[in-house]
Amino acid sequence: MAVTIDQLISAITDYQAPRVFNPWSQSCPNEISNKYFLQRRKNLKAHLSCPDPLCIFVGEAAGFRGARFTGVPFTSEKLLVDQAIPRMDHSKGERITTRHIPWKEPSATIVWEELHKHQVADRTILFNAVPWHPEGKDGPLSNRAPNAAEKSAGLESLSLFFEAFQEIPVMALGNIASESLNRLSIEHTKIRHPANGGAPLFRAGATIFIQKCNKQKEHNRTL
């Protein structure tokens, strides 16, 4: 029997490790509500509940400007406040954090701009090789690359994810995502992650990938 979205969310919610923040079970002092982790579960479920997915983008790990607060990969507080994310039940202007302005994450902005440009935002599912937020040396509001144990735990979640979402074209953003997919023998296209000056190569790679997905979808409809 295929894994359900609820089973997937339950599995990632159970994970705990030192210096790792679990957005779906933990609260952050910077949040307006100490129960927002419950809303993050709803956010992720809404994102994953895509009726006719065209493609899947897999990133590295949750970041402190993005999924740490929203619960959705490559999605910042600013994008939710602006209602730029499909399927989200989030009132325009509604805040998550006590910060004077909403958190904005460059990679998240670039990814969703590209999805909207190609008119596939409502048909794309995003996930991370390590779903949780590895906290960096400067504390909760910093990032670091996931270690071997965290990547191994992420493989279990990624495996469940692909039991729930099968036969959908997959794109890996960067090396860590691609390595995890290779370890699970998941066929995928690897492109540049948009961070650290990678935006132009990301946009070029995403354009080719999305066009290919659209052509394949159209071909399947004609069969």
β-pairing, 133-136 vs 139-143, is antiparallel
Span 17-58, pLDDT tens digits = 999 999 999 999 999 999 999 999 999 999 999 999 999 999
Which residue reads 């129960």 in tokens?
35
Q: Supply the Cα-derived Rg of the chain in whole angstroms.
A: 16
The model carries a pTM of: 0.96
Q: Residue 201's Cα: distance from chain center in Å?
A: 19
Structure tokens at 78: 């600013």
Domains defined along the chain, listed by start:
5-222 (3.40.470.10)
Helices and strands, number each (H, E), in the chain: 8, 7
Span 173-220, pLDDT tens digits = 999 999 999 999 999 999 999 999 999 999 999 999 999 999 998 888
